[in-house]
Amino acid sequence: MQDVGNILDNRVLLVALLACLIAQALKLVVELIRNRKLNISVLFTTGGMPSAHSALVTALAAGVGQTLGWASSEFAVAMVFAIIVMYDAAGVRQAAGKQARILNQMIDELFHEHPEISQDRLKELLGHTPFQVIAGSALGITVFWLARAAY
């Protein structure tokens, strides 16, 4: 049980999680401004502005670099991990979202001709635009620097 307490003492992890939570909360604010309605579901979905994944991995990499050294192997691993996650968010998952949108259009058209076919829809908002990834990354760095200044 003491190991769980040790996890909670890991400032790098806590700051990274804080960056992720702030990004998710900002999605709620962006949704409120954009659509003029409160949509709590954005707190629990992927995609949107800013990228919480990017904020998380950027804050994590920055924390590892600051704690263990910018030339450390651990920072290199964290940085490569961050790049892969951000590439995936803006590339692979964005493409999957576009494919889902096209498939949903096809299902809509087919459903009108054949009502017996299920009209289950695929989730379209899976990834991020490059701007959303950059904004999430900037948020992660900002949260890291603000938390670092607080300690």
Segment 93-142, tens digit of pLDDT: 666 667 767 777 777 777 776 666 666 665 555 567 889 999 999 999 99
41-100 confidence digits (pLDDT tens): 777 877 788 999 999 999 999 999 999 999 999 999 999 999 999 988 887 666 666 776
Neighbours of 66 (CB within 10 A): 16
Q: Which amino acid is at 75?
A: F
Sequence-ordered list of residues with C-beta below 8 angstroms from that of 37, at least 6 positions apart, any chain:
31
Could you say which DSSP state residue 42 is in? Answer: G
Mean pLDDT for the chain overall = 84
Query: 99 φ, ψ to 5°?
Result: -65, -40
pTM of the model: 0.76
